[in-house]
Chain A
Amino acid sequence: VRLDLDALDHYARGCGVLGAGGGGDVDAPLLQAKAAVAEHGPVEVIDPEDLPDEALILPISGWGAPTVGIEKLGSGREGEILRTAAERWFGEPIVAIMPGEIGGGNGVQPVAWAARMGLPLVDADGMGRAFPEGPQVAMHVAGLSPSPVFLTDEHGNVVTLHPVGGDWYERLARAVTIAFGGSAIGADFVMTAEVCRTATIRGTVSLAMDLGTAVSEQGIEGLLRSSAGVRIIEGKIADVERRTTEGFARGQALVTGVGSDAGTEVRIHIQNEYLLATADERAIAMVPDLIVVLDAASGDAVPTELLRYGQRVVVVGIPSAPVWRTDAGLAVAGPAAFGFPHPYEAVEDLARG
């Protein structure tokens, strides 16, 4: 599999779906990736099985608020800077790049960096979706330490962190991000291909491409088939309530049904991503499963920051990667981890009623 100019549109659309409302703007990263691929050539997507055991993989993802990302697009050199910092630390070459988070723009930007460096992209990521907090990655569930963490900005500043725990990681990285001017690009959980095979969520770059292609060619029905997804409601955004607290965009959106869903209402709870969907206080989809809001006409995923009153949408639920449905996964990214009282139930079971 390779990401060339034609594949990138599908891939970005699929990353938008897997963002579950978050992961950052897709449009500017897509233009960035296209510019890099046009100049440096397509990016090879490689399975970790096809890399030597000791090959070092650099997971990269962005930190910061979407409103900063749509103004400060980055220098484009962040990937090279992080690779240099990591290679200096480990004394070995980085062999491949991995998206830390496949969802939203975070899944798309690594293509640009990989293209510029001539490195392949590993067919895996840390989340299989987007989550609001750094430690909510499969590598953390697998017991790996994120250290050392390398953070850089558009000026080329580099900060290396050695946090002693997940809380410290989040706190320190947020502080650095603010000092950088609201956005940072980070590399963490630098790992060998051998570790990558068991500690990450595999196949998610291909999955993003497949889901995006399904939406492009067969619309929302195609997406539901390709993702084993569940249609939750088709309706209009009747209310959006949003506030920014502790660096997160929190809020709720109310969807009132149209057509065959007329008379029903679904409420979606937001913290950067869509985390919980309820009808009459009853949960119908919840983290770690993906709740995706799609534009009813185009099938494009609508990120939380672009939700507006009056939009016509289809809300779907997609089963999360198996690691998130384990006890250890649910402890990190289940409903209780976000303060919801609902016991976890899989979206496909809830749909069966």
Chain B
Amino acid sequence: VGEVRIGIDVGGTNTDAVLIDGSGNVLSRTKVPTTEDPIDGIASAMSAVRPAGDQVALVALGTTHAVNAIVQRRDLRRVTLIRIGAPGTEAVPPLAGWPEDLVRAAVARTAVVRGGVEVDGRVLPIDENKVRRFVEAVNPDAIAIVGTFSPLLPDQELEATELISEVSSAPVTMGHEVAGLGLLERENAAVLNAAIAAVIDRVVDALERSVERSFPGAAVFLTQNDGTLMAPAVARRLPVLTIGSGPSNSLRGAATLTGVRDGLVVDVGGTRPTSRRSWPGSHVRRRSASRSVA
């Protein structure tokens, strides 16, 4: 009897699970339909792969729920976006280039308020009254806050979040948490992050409850876009880190199982077919530029 790990993939169609030993050998595997409440599929997949007597040390879960919610425009929270950057960013309005149906599904209201940070660290005063009045008027379900140059100096995003907490209890995603330089990319990522938080919360809730019930004490992780693992609290805070994890998981899994060091991996999913190149070492190389998900 040794320590074993369980890996689970909650897809739009099927929930797969494998049991592997400490050396990475696959001991058993199963495939069950994904259930409306993901907890039922997760629970039945875990019980199906688990040979009696083994000590389950770790359960890791990958999910495409969040990206599917974006692609299918369902189960999204409608986000209220506040961009701190008037007048210096008004040339390009928020959500420029977004598909209209995604805007309807994922966005409630947007505002561009005075403020922002300059590249030399100079801080332009934030329009506190406008932030407060706007949030009070909208009464949002979820909020995204993005300020110019916030990855270099996040003070103003933090300040606005503090301000908002006085008038709203809605969860807030700050731009500097989700992306680096590039205002529009960061703003889009922050809005998506806020929009999919409820979807990921449901999956993480289901995972934590199932593991607690079946394997108390086992460590719990979720897979992220680059093919590595993150703690559940990180996934809840930054669910956008899961939206590229599906193909990454397929790629690393295929490389591990076949031993092929340089090949093409095609993932035929129930929701979206994707293909990826696998690279020597089977780790995922991150793209340099931004990419489109919707």
Q: Which residues of B contact A72 (CB under 8 A)?
A: 85, 88-89, 116, 118-119, 148, 183
Contact B288 A154 (CB under 8 A): no
Q: Which residues of A contact B182 (CB under 8 A)?
A: 70-71
Q: Which residues of A contact B97 (CB under 8 A)?
A: 31, 34
Q: Which of B89, B120, B122, B181 contacts A73 (CB 8 A)?
A: B89
Closest chain A residue to B97, Cβ basis: A31
Given contacts A28-B184, A70-B183, A154-B88, contact A181 B93 (CB under 8 A): no
Decide if B92 is an interface residue (CB 8 Å cutoff): yes
Q: Name the residue among A34, A65, A67, A154 with the largest chain B CB count within 10 angstroms.
A: A154
Kindly provide the distance from the CB of A254 to the nearest chain B CB, expressed in whole angstroms: 16
Q: Which residues of B contact A35 (CB under 8 A)?
A: 91-93, 96
Decide if A311 is an interface residue (CB 8 Å cutoff): yes
Q: Which residues of A contact B118 (CB under 8 A)?
A: 72, 181-182
Contact B87 A182 (CB under 8 A): no
A188 to B148, CA, bound (A): 29
Interface residue SS majority, chain A? loop
Q: Which residues of A contact B92 (CB under 8 A)?
A: 28, 31-32, 35, 73, 76
Interface string of B254-294 (1 = CB under 8 A from A): 00000000000000000000000000000001001100000
Given contacts A181-B118, A182-B118, A308-B288, contact A71 B90 (CB under 8 A): no
A35 to B116, CA, bound (A): 22
Q: Which residues of B contact A155 (CB under 8 A)?
A: 87-88
Contact B288 A71 (CB under 8 A): no
Q: Which residues of A contact B288 (CB under 8 A)?
A: 306, 308, 311
Count residues of chain B with CB under 8 A from any CB of chain A.
24
A311 to B118, CA, bound (A): 31
Q: Name the residue among A27, A72, A308, A310 with the largest chain B CB count within 10 angstroms.
A: A72
Interface string of B81-110 (1 = CB under 8 A from A): 000010111111100110000000000000
Decide if B221 is an interface residue (CB 8 Å cutoff): no
A182 to B88, CA, bound (A): 12
Q: Name the residue among A32, A73, A75, A156 with the largest chain B CB count within 10 angstroms.
A: A73
Decide if A277 is an interface residue (CB 8 Å cutoff): no
Q: Which residues of B contact A70 (CB under 8 A)?
A: 181-184
Q: Which residues of B contact A310 (CB under 8 A)?
A: 285
Contact A73 B88 (CB under 8 A): yes
Decide if A68 is an interface residue (CB 8 Å cutoff): yes
Q: Name the residue among A28, A178, A310 with the largest chain B CB count within 10 angstroms.
A: A28
Q: Which of B89, B122, B184, B285 contacts A181 (CB 8 A)?
A: B122
A75 to B149, CA, bound (A): 16
Contact B119 A71 (CB under 8 A): yes
Kindly provide the distance from the CB of A105 to the nearest chain B CB, expressed in whole angstroms: 11
Q: Which of A65, A75, A182, A311 contacts B91 (CB 8 A)?
A: A75
Count residues of chain A with CB under 8 A from any CB of chain B.
28
A181 to B119, CA, bound (A): 6
Contact A74 B88 (CB under 8 A): yes
A65 to B149, CA, bound (A): 14
Kindly provide the distance from the CB of B157 to the nearest chain A CB, expressed in whole angstroms: 13
Interface string of A21-42 (1 = CB under 8 A from B): 0000001100110110000000
Decide if A294 is an interface residue (CB 8 Å cutoff): no
Closest chain B residue to A155, Cβ basis: B87
Contact A75 B181 (CB under 8 A): no
Q: Which of A34, A154, A182, A306 contacts B119 (CB 8 A)?
A: A182
A72 to B91, CA, bound (A): 9
Q: Which residues of A contact B181 (CB under 8 A)?
A: 67, 70-71
A308 to B285, CA, bound (A): 11
Interface string of A60-87 (1 = CB under 8 A from B): 0000010110111111110000000000
Decide if A58 is an interface residue (CB 8 Å cutoff): no
Contact A73 B183 (CB under 8 A): yes
Decide if A18 is an interface residue (CB 8 Å cutoff): no
Q: Which residues of B contact A27 (CB under 8 A)?
A: 184
Kindly provide the distance from the CB of B274 to the nearest chain A CB, expressed in whole angstroms: 15
Contact B289 A306 (CB under 8 A): yes
Q: Name the residue among A31, A70, A71, A156 with the largest chain B CB count within 10 angstroms.
A: A71
Kindly provide the distance from the CB of B148 to the nearest chain A CB, expressed in whole angstroms: 5
Decide if A112 is an interface residue (CB 8 Å cutoff): yes
Contact B90 A76 (CB under 8 A): yes
A310 to B281, CA, bound (A): 14
Given contacts A35-B96, A73-B183, contact A67 B90 (CB under 8 A): no
Contact A34 B96 (CB under 8 A): yes
Closest chain A residue to B122, Cβ basis: A181
Q: Name the residue among B85, B122, B289 with the largest chain A CB count within 10 angstroms.
A: B289
Given contacts A67-B181, A71-B182, A306-B289, contact A154 B87 (CB under 8 A): yes
Q: Which residues of A contact B119 (CB under 8 A)?
A: 65, 67-68, 71-72, 181-182
Closest chain B residue to A64, Cβ basis: B119
A112 to B90, CA, bound (A): 12
Kindly provide the distance from the CB of B109 to the nearest chain A CB, expressed in whole angstroms: 18
A311 to B286, CA, bound (A): 11
A112 to B91, CA, bound (A): 9
Kindly provide the distance from the CB of A268 to the nearest chain B CB, expressed in whole angstroms: 17
Q: Which residues of B contact A311 (CB under 8 A)?
A: 288
Given A71-B181, A155-B88, 18 more pairs with CB closer than 8 A: A28-B183, A31-B97, A67-B181, A70-B181, A71-B148, A73-B184, A74-B88, A74-B90, A76-B90, A76-B92, A77-B87, A154-B88, A156-B87, A181-B118, A181-B122, A182-B120, A306-B288, A306-B289
Can you sample 15 A-B contacts with CB below 8 Å? Answer: A71-B119, A71-B149, A71-B182, A72-B148, A72-B183, A73-B184, A75-B87, A75-B91, A76-B90, A76-B92, A77-B90, A154-B88, A154-B89, A156-B87, A182-B118
Task: Spell out B's residues near A (CB within 8 Å).
Answer: 85, 87-93, 96-97, 116, 118-120, 122, 148-149, 181-184, 285, 288-289
Top 6 closest A-B pairs, CB basis? A76-B91, A154-B88, A308-B288, A74-B91, A31-B96, A181-B118
